Amino acid sequence: MNTMKSSTTSTNVKILRASALCALIAGALLSFPLLSANAQTTTDQIRLNRDIGKCWHKKDPWMDNGNIIHLWDCDGGPVVNRAFFYDPSTGYIRSTTSPSKCLHKRTPGWQLGDIINLWDCAAGDDEMKTFDYDDNDGRVMFRSNPEFCAGVRFIGKDNGKPIVVKQCKFAESYSIRGSKSNSAAVQGSVPCSNVRLASETLVLEVKTGNPQGAGSSATMRIRIVFDDWDTGVFTLNNNRSFYADGDDVIKTGIEIPGGCNRKGTNMKSMVIENTGSSGIFSANAWFLESICARSSTESFCGDPLTINRWINGGGRITWGLK
């Protein structure tokens, strides 16, 4: 019996020692810094100001050179795919979890649509990889040529749209979370105080002024580009009649995005398509005298855009496009 007690005691001591060793190892692992001293936290991200649910992501999970940067849901995919921070001292936008990797454009020179991808920070000329970012503007400008910025290809905010070289006057504004040079600083998700209210939505005031009538039950699809954001394609009305000399006020339900120094409703270009009431019918002609965009917090439109054109079923008009 004494032998059995001694054996049992010895076994218990070994178990306790093993448990203690595991605890020490676990504690050491938890306290070990997983990121380098220059890296920020995994909350670092580059958010689209007009849709703060969209961020820049690596397309693929690995850290290989050439990995395309594209737009994706901020809460979608692994955190390491969307964790970037900006260092103004170098102008680099680095991967948080692998700070030796930076965002570069692919091609020397200034080609619109040139893809932004991941590459070694130490490689390439400064022209390829140095940026200026200002909270008050929100655009991610190339330091070597501030006429050009990084932004979403074409117009829209769909997942998978690549980040490319754009002219800054057409580029979107962003919020870059995480600190800049100082890892102790923390930015808010919205960098400016003069932001749009969440309740502000786009309102269109449409006037049909032709005495012959404006047609009826035409479904219109419209897309408007403003100074630094766009609506994407949406339905202006759904089989709704428009009458001659009528003024229709349409609340689109599209939120005017927050951001810095936005006018929000200063139209740059527009496309309107008449799909007809059920398919494409030329009889569903619709005369558009003017259209004006305003915020739902504003009482009237300041500067209506004169169109004075018929839009037949299956037809479209464009304004402001080159």
* Domain harbouring 132, CATH code: 2.80.10.50
In a domain, 16, yes or no: no
- Nearest-CA neighbor of 291 among 202, 228, 217? 202
pLDDT at residue 151 greater than cutoff 90: yes
Statement to judge: residues 212 and 288 lie in one domain: yes
Domain of 235, in residue numbers:
201-319
In a domain, 212, yes or no: yes
- Residue 57 confidence class, pLDDT cut points 50, 70, 90: very high
- For the chain, give the percent of residues with pLDDT over 70: 68
Residue 248 contacts by C-beta under 8 Å, 6 or more apart in sequence? Answer: 205, 206, 207, 208, 237, 242
Q: Count CB-CB contacts under 10 A for residue 261.
A: 12
Statement to judge: residues 105 and 166 lie in one domain: yes
Mean pLDDT (the chain) is: 74
- Residue 115 confidence class, pLDDT cut points 50, 70, 90: very high
Pairwise pLDDT comparison (267 vs 263), residue with the higher score: 267
Predicted local distance difference test score (pLDDT) of residue 107: 93
Cα 117 to Cα 76, 134, 175, distances in angstroms: 19, 21, 19
Statement to judge: residues 106 and 149 lie in one domain: yes
pLDDT at residue 313 greater than cutoff 70: yes
pLDDT at residue 203 greater than cutoff 60: yes
Secondary structure of the chain as H, E, C letters: CHHHHHHHHHHHHHHHHHHHHHHHHHHHHHHCCCCCCCCCCCCCCEEECCEEEEEEEECCCCCCCCCEEEEEECCCCCHHHCCEEEECCCCEEEECCCCCEEEEECCCCCCCCCEEEEEECCCCCHHHHCEEECCCCCCEEECCCCCEEEEECCCCCCCCCEEEEEEHHHCCCEEECCCCCCCCCCCCCCCCCCCCCCCCEEEEEEEECCCCCCCCCEEEEEEEEECCCECCCEEEEEEECCCCCEEEEEEEEEECCCCCCCCCCCEEEEEEEECCCCCCCCCCCEEEEEEEEEECCCCCCCCCEEEEEEECCCCEEEECCC
CATH number at 233 reads 2.60.60.20
Statement to judge: residues 136 and 207 lie in one domain: no
Predicted local distance difference test score (pLDDT) of residue 24: 38
Predicted local distance difference test score (pLDDT) of residue 18: 45
Question: Mean pLDDT throughout 108-121?
Answer: 94
Pairwise pLDDT comparison (38 vs 235), residue with the higher score: 235
Pairwise pLDDT comparison (243 vs 167), residue with the higher score: 167
Statement to judge: residues 219 and 289 lie in one domain: yes
Predicted local distance difference test score (pLDDT) of residue 175: 87
Statement to judge: residues 57 and 158 lie in one domain: yes
Statement to judge: residues 146 and 246 lie in one domain: no
In a domain, 307, yes or no: yes
Indicate the number of domains in the chain: 2
Q: Tens digits of per-residue pLDDT, 298-312?
A: 888 877 888 888 888
In a domain, 188, yes or no: no
Amino acid at residue number 179: S
Range in 26-30, 199-203, 222-226 with the lowest mean pLDDT: 26-30
Statement to judge: residues 169 and 231 lie in one domain: no
In a domain, 34, yes or no: no
pLDDT at residue 138 greater than cutoff 90: no
Predicted local distance difference test score (pLDDT) of residue 131: 94
pLDDT at residue 297 greater than cutoff 90: no
In a domain, 187, yes or no: no
Q: Tens digits of per-residue pLDDT, 206-221?
A: 887 765 554 555 678 8
Question: Mean pLDDT throughout 88-100?
Answer: 87
Statement to judge: residues 165 and 237 lie in one domain: no
Q: Using CA atoms, how far apart are residues 235 and 314, in angstroms rounded to an integer?
A: 14
- Residue 262 confidence class, pLDDT cut points 50, 70, 90: low
In a domain, 27, yes or no: no
Statement to judge: residues 165 and 209 lie in one domain: no
Which of 137, 160, 176 is the last residue in one of the domains?
Answer: 176
Statement to judge: residues 169 and 215 lie in one domain: no
Question: Mean pLDDT throughout 185-189?
Answer: 31
pLDDT at residue 147 greater than cutoff 80: yes
In a domain, 185, yes or no: no
Which of 176, 211, 241 is the last residue in one of the domains?
Answer: 176
Find the Cα–Cα–Cα–Cα dihedral 92, 142, 163, 176, rounded to 10°: 50
Q: pTM of the full predicted structure?
A: 0.46
Statement to judge: residues 234 and 314 lie in one domain: yes
